[in-house]
Amino acid sequence: MKFLKGLLGIVIPIAIGLALALVIKATVVTVARVDGPSMEPNLVNNERLLVWRHAKIKHLSVIVFDAHGEDPSASKPNTDYVKRVIGLPGDTVSSNNGNLYVNGKKVNQSFISNYQRTTGTGNWDLQTLSKSWAKHPNSVKVPKGNYFVLGDHRSVSNDGRYWGFVPKKKITGVAKTFFWGTDKTKRNNVNKLAY
């Protein structure tokens, strides 16, 4: 009997801890991993991120979302992408000579170099991009309940320019870098730019 009480004294706290951890992961915060170079220089391949499930999504927030059903090349469910939010629902978005414009205002892109802004970004607006999208063809604005995202490394990023918008229901949450394993500038560029 003494052995059983001792065993229960160990098993019950472990079970409660595991259950609590699963609840927190499912409802508050989880961890994601960057896969590929699309968010360089601010995030690198295999970097781990905290993902806050209920954080408010703002302009320049870095988000994690399931790209399956949005990007035709994401053939498996739970294919997580990490990208930066450029357009919120109702926004008009365009690019000219590497400069991004949201609702006619130039976006401060100090989080990437001039080379990264101009190489691969192209000149476009949502309507010209959306002519080749399977969903939301001929869009002028970001539709209600959707977001327009780009990778920071524009010349290699497979992002909203190619397949369209990200529905809110597909978004896991807002990503934040860990304090360790990255420098202050990169932490600022991921964690603090949103407006």
pLDDT at 194: 85
User: Could you confirm whether 144 is annotated as catalytic?
Assistant: no
Q: Which residues contact 84 (CB under 8 A, 6 or more apart)?
A: 39, 60, 61, 62, 63, 149, 150, 151, 152
What pLDDT is attached to residue 9?
A: 64
CATH of the domain at 101: 2.10.109.10
- Alpha-carbon separation of residue 61 from 80, 191, 195 (angstroms): 16, 8, 8
| Distance in angstroms (rounded) separating the CA atoms of residues 104 and 84 | 19
Burial of residue 42, with CB atoms counted within 10 A of its CB: 0-12 exposed, 13-18 middle, 19 or more buried? buried
Q: What is this structure's pTM?
A: 0.87
The 3-class secondary structure across 68-98, one letter per residue, is CCCCCCCCCCCCEEEEEEEECCCCCEEEECC
Domain boundaries, position 62:
2-191
Q: Can you tell me the distance from the alpha carbon of 115 to that of 95, in angstroms, rounded to the nearest whole number?
A: 15
Has 83 been annotated as catalytic? yes
pLDDT of residue 46: 95
- The predicted pLDDT at position 140 comes to 96
Which listed residue (38, 95, 139, 157) is catalytic? Answer: 38
Q: From first to last of its 195 residues, what are the pLDDT tens digits of the chain?
A: 666 666 556 666 665 666 555 655 566 589 999 999 999 999 999 999 999 999 999 999 999 999 999 999 999 999 999 999 999 999 999 999 889 999 999 999 999 998 888 888 889 999 999 999 999 999 999 999 999 999 999 999 999 999 999 999 999 999 999 877 778 888 889 998 888
Total domains in the fold of the chain = 1
Q: Which of 5, 56, 61, 83 is catalytic?
A: 83
